[in-house]
Amino acid sequence: MAEQLTPLADDRALLGRTSTAERVSDILRSRIAEGYFPPGTRLSEDSIGGALGVSRNTLREAFRLLTHERLLVHELNRGVFVRVLAVEDVEDIYRTRRLVECAVVRGLGEPPYALDGLAEAVAEGRRAAREGDWKGLGTANIHFHRELVALAGSERTDELMRSVFAELRLAFHVVDDPRRLHEPYLDRNEQLLRALSAGQRREAEHLLAGYLDDSLDRVVEVYRRRVGEEA
């Protein structure tokens, strides 16, 4: 836990003088997504509150917000833990992704589209792959899909999918071979980018639907095996 708390002490400066539960939850959400607190980790109120310099009440409210987002779970007489997803959770996450992401592409207006964020996410993924940083590649893939959702220009959709992507990372963190999980989708991200750059909205939606279906199959396969090994 001490090693995990060091980055939180650095995050303390982000809170400033107007510390709020929402800002604390933003920090913890990011740290959970990055794997500093893996699934199953118990979150200590005293340690985390001390690292961030916030009151117990503020931290408990942040925990409540993240529990509502399905990132944390409160266990009676045991405390608050980072949630461990079931396979059914993973399937539901992908169901939501397919509904939202495909609808975003389908609803795009006439080209050209603002694709700089997508292009940067592809470049980020290429850099991570060259460096053998497979978890970094997974992060780049998430960034790609966040930028894709952002094409809708909807703050509500961005907010919804921020939680969905954070929850998805909980599944990624139990996978022991991130390269096998993430590497095949780097080229597919680039295919999607090319289709959108060419204004081929229908082709992009078709590519995206197949992409998400294949990704679900791969994640569930690996996830079932890993969870089964630990059972």
Q: What is the domain partition of the chain in residue ranges? A: 2-82, 87-230
- pLDDT tens sequence across 77-93: 899 999 999 999 999 99
For the chain, what is the mean pLDDT? 89
In the beta sheet, which residues pair with residue 75? 79
User: Residue ranges of the alpha helices (H) in 12-80?
Assistant: 21-33, 45-52, 56-68
79-82 and 72-75 as β-strands: parallel, antiparallel, unpaired?
antiparallel
Measured distance CA(152)–CA(101) in Å, rounded: 9
> CB count, 10 Å around CB of 63?
23
pTM listed for this prediction: 0.84
Q: What pLDDT shows up at residue 223?
A: 76
Asked if 138 and 178 touch (Cβ cutoff 8 Å), the reply is yes
CATH code, residues 87-230:
1.20.120.530
Under DSSP, the state recorded for 174 is T
Side chain identity at residue 22, one-letter code: E
Select from 226, 75, 96 the least CA-distant residue to 167. Answer: 96
The predicted pLDDT at position 17 comes to 44
Checking if the pLDDT of 230 tops 80, the result is no
Instruction: List the CATH code of the domain at 2-82.
Output: 1.10.10.10
